[in-house]
Amino acid sequence: MMKDPLLARLGPAVERAFRQLYDKEVDLHRIGFQATRPEFEGDVTINVFPFTKLTGKGPEPLAQELGGFLLREEPVVVRFNVIKGFLNLVIADGYWQGFVREAGERDILAFPPTGRKVMVEYASPNTNKPLHLGHLRNIFLGWSVSRILQAAGNEVVKVQVINDRGIHICKSMLAWRKFGQGETPQSSGLKGDKLVGKYYVEFDKAYKAEIESLVASGTTKEEAEKSAPILLEAQEMLRRWEANDPDVRALWETMNGWVYAGFNATYDRAGVSFDRNYYESETYVLGKADVLEGLKKGVFYEKDGAVWVDNTQEGLDEKVLLRRDGTSVYMTQDIGTAIKRFEEYPGLSKLIYTVGNEQDYHFKVLFIILKKLGFAWADELFHLSYGMVDLPSGKMKSREGTVVDADDLIDEVVTEARRMGEELSKLDDFTEADKVALYEMIGLAALKYFLLKVDPKKRMLFDPAASIDLQGHTGPFIQYTYARIKSLLRKADGMGTWARPVPPQRDEHMTTSALLPEERTVIKLLHHLPSVLEEAATKLDPSALANHTYELVKAYNGFYQSVPVMKEEDATKRGFRLALSAAVANATRKAMWCLGIEVPERM
């Protein structure tokens, strides 16, 4: 990982101060650097409270002495002030100007290779229904984390598990066979995943009708739910699938093929992809041998003919891994799949599961089991847990057909983007094809950013109309700012006023005071962006990067409105402001790339 260049410079200077002033050694990691609060003068704040006991000094005298040393010995520090035990350092304008020069010469969000290989699993759809809003949060979160990790210097492998077997799949198959009359995606005009999802809903309707009829004839509801003929038929179809019945398998392959085509169309539109697909129809047989080996070694135990694991010492409970009839549970195949992945990808250093928080317990148990089996890599497994997404209309239920379809939602935000664009009427010179591409880009940015700007752990409410607001905390606002900067740079280039930045080098003229407050604010946010990316990669949380990028472009907009760029007569200042603008644009484009969002050159 990269280090903040300013803190990398200040840290050793603080160490020298403790050695020379107090003859004490301090651990660099204990020095708490943070951004100075807006109400105080300063750029960097050091909390000296942790060192009062070490030095025998009170917090304020200690801060004063430390500030005086840095002012004398470190040219980058030009002023300081002390608020109780907090030392606020003012950093020379020359440093910030030198950073703008560097930001124009390299990608500040390109980290050196770490040599680490990381696998990220996301999506994990079922082949009995189309993708929905909940899937979109999962997919965009997993895709963004993958890109953030890649930008941070890691090799990333992107995978999904496709849940293509089980009773829920057979329900759609059976309903199509009973009620479909040979309907296909071609004959119906429906995407394949939508067509199959339609029959999953039809099964539920028929099932409920049979339950109601059985109850009316005197059967208890509980018994009716177990004995409804259509459910028994679905269970029989599953048994035939497991027995490799050719007729059932042929129908399964046909309908799954429809679904895959539908999924891929949605993935392509959303701009996401995978390096490897794992299919449950293949992985459900994995893990049994590993569990039996664990039983031999005494890691697991047998009770009533079943194989169990005891996690009570870890504060959890006992869990069946193999039933008495020898069949496995989901946990078993997840054990086997994890082992298979580390075998297939030698050198894999981390495996991240992007799965909703309703599965928190499952992954706690999985990771404990793999550790008990002796796999050293079990410590590098991580559940990227996230909260559910609600809409103003309430909770979604796929069985009842009330799920918010992913394609429909994308259509809605793209339509809203078109409405907004036509109201602004700034696209008169765009062809219709250009407009369609732009509206698609804006709509997807609105959707992705709105889902990513919230801490993944939090449950959230998605508001399609609010997500598209050009003046709000939205993806389109960031896109608009980027397009505004590109327009400015094109204008400067066309007028012949473009110039390369001419600020001093970082170590020269540290006492220059050429920066306006608006410029300084933008530069500091830009300077902090790599640290935010590093934090996002460490915590596997894109929301910090999303929100910081918004703060950066918001500050730039304030700068743009109040500070003349093209009207500035001083060529040096004009060149610097254009260079700052270009650096903000480049960093914004890369930050949005990390979030899986495209930015338009014109808007």
Per-residue pLDDT tens over the stretch 186-212? 999 999 999 999 999 999 999 999 999
Alpha carbon of residue 476 to chain centroid: 18
Provide the whole-model pTM: 0.92
Listed residue (163, 134, 121) closest to 274, CA to CA:
121
Phi first, then psi: give them for residue 36, nearest 5 degrees.
-65, 140
Which positions ≥6 away from 130 have C-beta within 8 Å? 191, 193, 194, 196, 197, 262, 263, 266, 405, 406, 407
Q: Let me know: does 291 contact 172? Beta carbons within 8 Å.
A: no
The pLDDT score that the predictor gives to residue 28 is 75
* Angular region, 353: left φ>0, alpha ψ -120 to 50, beta rest: beta
**Which tops the pLDDT comparison, 348 or 6?**
348
Answer whether residue 33 shows pLDDT above 80. yes
Residue 497 has pLDDT above 80, yes or no: no
Count CB neighbours of 299 within 10 A. Answer: 16
Domain ranges, ordered by start, for the chain? 5-91, 166-281
- pLDDT confidence of 513, banded at 50, 70, 90? low
Contacts by 529-536 with C-beta closer than 8 Å and gap 24+? 529/108, 529/109, 529/587, 529/591, 530/2, 530/4, 530/108, 530/109, 530/111, 531/4, 533/109, 533/111, 533/148, 533/151, 533/152, 533/591, 533/594, 534/1, 534/2, 534/111, 534/152, 536/148, 536/594
Rounded to an integer, what distance in angstroms lies between the CA atom of residue 318 and that of residue 387? 27
Residues with Cβ within 8 Å of residue 574, at least 6 apart in sequence: 497, 499, 565, 566, 568
* Residue 338, both tokens: 């994890």
Q: Is 130 within 8 Å of 194 (Cβ atoms)?
A: yes
Specify the CATH number for 5-91; select among 3.40.50.300, 3.30.1360.70, 3.40.50.11540, 3.40.50.720. 3.30.1360.70
User: Does residue 268 carry a pLDDT above 70?
Assistant: yes
Is residue 314's pLDDT more than 90?
yes
pLDDT digits (tens, 9 = 90+) for 108-142: 999 999 999 999 999 999 999 999 999 999 999 99
φ/ψ of residue 587, rounded to 5 = -70, -40
Q: How far apart are CA 78 and CA 80, in angstroms?
A: 7
Would you state the pLDDT for residue 507? Answer: 45
Task: Give the model confidence (pLDDT) of 142-195 as tens digits.
Answer: 999 999 999 999 999 999 999 999 999 999 999 999 999 999 999 999 999 999
Residues in CB range of 18: below 8 A, 6 or more apart: 24, 25, 26, 51, 54, 55
Q: CB under 8 Å to 387, separation ≥6 — which residues?
A: 356, 357, 456, 457, 458, 459, 460
Q: Tell me the pLDDT tens digit for each residue of 525-542.
A: 999 999 999 999 999 999
In eight-state DSSP terms, residue 92 is: P
The span from the CA of 590 to the CA of 594, in Å, is 6
Confidence of residue 5 (pLDDT cuts 50, 70, 90): confident
Q: What is the pLDDT of residues 382-428, one digit of tens each?
A: 999 999 988 776 543 444 445 689 999 999 999 999 988 888 777 77
Work out the angle at residue 134's Cα, subtended by the Cα atoms of residues 129 and 136, and round it to the nearest 5 degrees. Answer: 90
Question: Which of these, 403, 320, 522, lies nearest to 135 by C-alpha position?
Answer: 403
Kind and range of the H or E run holding 303? strand 301-303
Q: What is the mean pLDDT of residues 217-223?
A: 95
| Mean pLDDT calculated for residue range 549-574 | 92
Cα angle 211, 212, 214; round to 5: 65
Q: How far is CA 591 from CA 108, 138, 291, 355, 522, in A?
A: 10, 19, 44, 24, 15
Residue for token pair 């009533």: 304
Listed in sequence order, the DSSP H helices in 388-431 are: 406-424
For the record, the structure tokens of 448 come out as 């992705």
Q: Strands 460-461, 389-390: parallel, antiparallel or unpaired by DSSP?
A: parallel
Residue 348's DSSP bridge partners are 117
Residue pLDDT, tens place only, 224-256: 999 999 999 999 999 999 999 999 999 999 999
The DSSP symbol for 275 reads S
Distances (CA, A) of 490 to 12, 22, 358, 451: 43, 56, 50, 32
Q: How many helices (H) and strands (E) does the chain have?
A: 22, 14
How many residues does the structure list for the chain? 603
For the chain, what is the mean pLDDT?
92
* pLDDT(503) > 50: no
